[in-house]
Structure 1
Amino acid sequence: MPLNQVPNQAELIPTEKEPEAVSAVEAGSLEELRELYKDCMRCPLGSGRNKLVFGHGISKTPLMFIGEGPGADEDAQGEPFVGRAGKLLTKMIHSIGIDREDVYITNVVKCRPPGNRNPEPVEVASCMRILENQLKLVSPKLIVTLGNVPTRALLPDIQGITKVRGKPVQYKQWTMLPTFHPSYLLRNRTAMPLAWKDFRMIASMAFETAE
């Protein structure tokens, strides 16, 4: 099926074999992968987007952040985490001595869900092939999932974010650490101390060197 054709819901259900999936070998870089999917219309979100929000950062880094999906600011600029939540995320990254430009940041879905709602399961499923290829190309030491949506996109049977945040888990060959989404922290300031604790752990897990 061409990337600019919208499939029905049944076609979006993940299967063990996806013959149309673009492999990381075929896409030799993140830029090549972005180019392959720039006109993607595999789910209804594509028809309502202003810009596809692919990801931002360096191609090889120990640390990769995964959010839910673009908001209005991200949809307008084509970059992830540039609104209020993005400014908070940048501040938290800087607070642990890391430059935002030295990590890779993306979302589960690359197009903005209307009304800033959570992505539907079929929308997540249609974008998972892109995310999997991003993971292979970036090859991070640590994946940080921000909130329930990306955490459950990778590990569907995991508990809610309040139960699993700050607890390292394994996703395929990668270590994954779930934590709160910055938009949640903007609404729930009492959770900030827990988030700061998670970020201190993130710094040591992603950038510590073996002695």
Structure 2
Amino acid sequence: MTENDTGLRTRLIDVGVDLVAAEGVQALTLREIARRAGVSHGAPRRHFPTHLELLSAIAQRGFADLGDRVRSTLANGGDPRAQVTELSRTYLEFALGNPGMYELMFRHDLLESGHLGLRGTSLPLFGVLADLVGRIRPGADAGRVAGALWANLHGIAQLWRWGSLQLATGSEDFTPVLETALAAHLGPREGR
């Protein structure tokens, strides 16, 4: 692949990332990405033979961004409970601040397609959560507890985006719901 080819591939992904941020997943057509990248509508096929491959490359950027945010959040260390709390907050803030990308990242067809190893990109993030859960709840099946917590976080993000949790809880701050979810999965904080 020449430098120009690499540049075009990167530009197509960049355009897709910008497009999903501005207009959502529904705007991610090959034609629209090509148009905004300033190339013919057939040009993306040189780098991405299928639409799913281009969408996977865009989603991979989302996972990389979320991974960077999680690593930054956890860089200062701290006790595992505080780290899970901060990781959870980072996850929710990412989901709420990047709804189009978040939706794209967890599309089942992309994750199952095997393109670019999206499962391999997402599973290490889950591994971080499971490791922390295992340190908080030794003896528990950390993978299952982390899976239940992740499902809860995913549900909080979705219901918050729809406005349902704000209506149900009467609050404009997701922190109390997050704290309740953490207590349900990790047990109460020591001293409480």
When normalised by structure 2's length, the TM-score is: 0.36
When normalised by structure 1's length, the TM-score is: 0.33
* Higher normalized strand content (fraction of residues): 1
Select the structure of larger CA radius of gyration.
2
